[in-house]
Structure 1
Amino acid sequence: MEEQTIFELIHDMDQFTNQLIIQWNKTFNEDLGVSHVLVLGHLSVNGKSRPSDIARRLGLSPPTLSYLSEKLVKRKLAVRLFDESDRRIVYLDITSNGLAILKRAMEEGVRLRRELLGTLTEEDRAQLAKIYRKLNTENLTLSSGLRQTE
């Protein structure tokens, strides 16, 4: 079996990811991207959070999180809360509308996963998820180490 080059691997991964995004945007007609849903999911699980903590946890830049937050607040899917003891500290929290959208997004995500990954067995899907988590974890660790030595 011929070994795939890194460029072919990146291309194949990009093609599949782009297909996922295209299908997501077609079926989840809420003018929200995957990153918006990830922020809502974080808030649903972790409760009110500082934007800098959300950005760090999701691997987003602070300006990107600001952009995402602004849209979520305007759509009344999230609210900004100020710390009572220090008004300079701002938190983001999910609203009941945000929880409802998140629920719909999760249901649509399950349907989309079944459709696009339907040719894989449950074991294949679990292995794929494990591989991605491993690659992300190891590469984040590697990236952090590289940045510290530069």
Structure 2
Amino acid sequence: MKQTSIFRLIHMIDQMNNANIIRFTKEFPYPLGVSPILVLSELKQKGPQRQAELAETIGYTKGAMTSIAEKLVKLGLAERLYDENDRRTIRLQITEEGKNAFSKAQDVGKDVFIQLFEVLNEEEIEQYLLILEKLVQGIKDRNQ
């Protein structure tokens, strides 16, 4: 692949991602980015967890996870649960408002992607899907 082609590809991916993030941010009523939404997803799926577990599962540092947890708690989207037997053990739990926020994030995200792909016809969508599947397989093959 020519060097100019790879940089053009990277630039186009960045433009697409930035445009989608801006669109999502404008439509999503909570002051959250992707990272806190991923945390809400984990909490909704798996229930209360220690911040260290969340950090490891999602791939964040403990410091970043502390910052995300603080933001979620301040917004009322998560709450801290203290272990009665060991007050040092603190787990994060999603609240009802957090479940609502996560649901809204899914709806807005889906709308953003529908708007993104509506410019493609069925054949182009199939081609794009095949390319993505090939890229994902290449990542899996390298990680084995």
Cα drift, residue 137 of structure 1 = 5.1
Q: Could you say if the C-alpha distance between residues 126 and 58 of structure 1 is closer, same or farther in structure 2, counting changes exceeding 3 Å?
A: farther
Query: What's the counterpart of residue 31 of structure 1?
Result: 31
Give the TM-score normalised by the residue count of structure 2.
0.80
Partner of 2:57: 57
Instruction: Give the letter for the 1:35 counterpart.
Output: S
Dislocated runs of 4+, deviation >3 Å? 1-9, 119-139
Residues 60, 100 of structure 1: alpha-carbon distance in 2 compared, 3 angstrom cutoff: same
For 2:3 and 2:69, how far apart are their aligned partners in 1?
43
| Higher relative contact order, structure no. (Cα contacts within 8 Å, ≥ 6 residues apart) | 2
- Pairwise CA distance, 1:89: 1.6
Distance in 2 between residues matched to 1:44 and 1:107, nearest whole Å = 16
Amino acid at match of 1:83: D
Unaligned runs of 5+ in 1: 143-150
Name the count of aligned residue pairs.
Answer: 141
* Alpha-carbon distance in 1 for matches of 2:137, 2:80: 34
Q: In the alignment, which residue of structure 2 is the partner of 1:118?
A: 118
TM-score (norm 1): 0.77
Deviations 1:37-56 (A, max 9, x none): 11111111111111112112
Give the superposed CA RMSD. Answer: 2.7
Equivalence for 1:101: 101
Q: How far apart, in 1, do the equivalents of 2:76 and 2:108 lie? A: 21
d(CA) in 1 for partners of 2:35, 2:20? 13
- 1:110 shift after superposition: 0.9
Counterpart residue type for residue 95 of structure 1: T
Q: CA deviation at 1:13?
A: 2.2
Question: Taking structure 1 as reference, are residues 92 and 29 closer, same or farther at Cα in structure 2, changes over 3 Å only?
Answer: same
Which sections of structure 2, spanning at least 5 residues, go unmatched?
A: none
In the alignment, the residues of structure 1 paired with residue 112 and residue 53 of structure 2 have an alpha-carbon distance, to the nearest angstrom, of 29
- Are the aligned partners of 1:117 and 1:125 in contact in 2 as well (CA < 8 Å)? no
Q: Hey, what's the Cα distance between the residues in 2 that align with 1:51 and 1:69?
A: 8
- For residues 38-77 of structure 1, the aligned pairs below 5 Å read 38-77=38-77
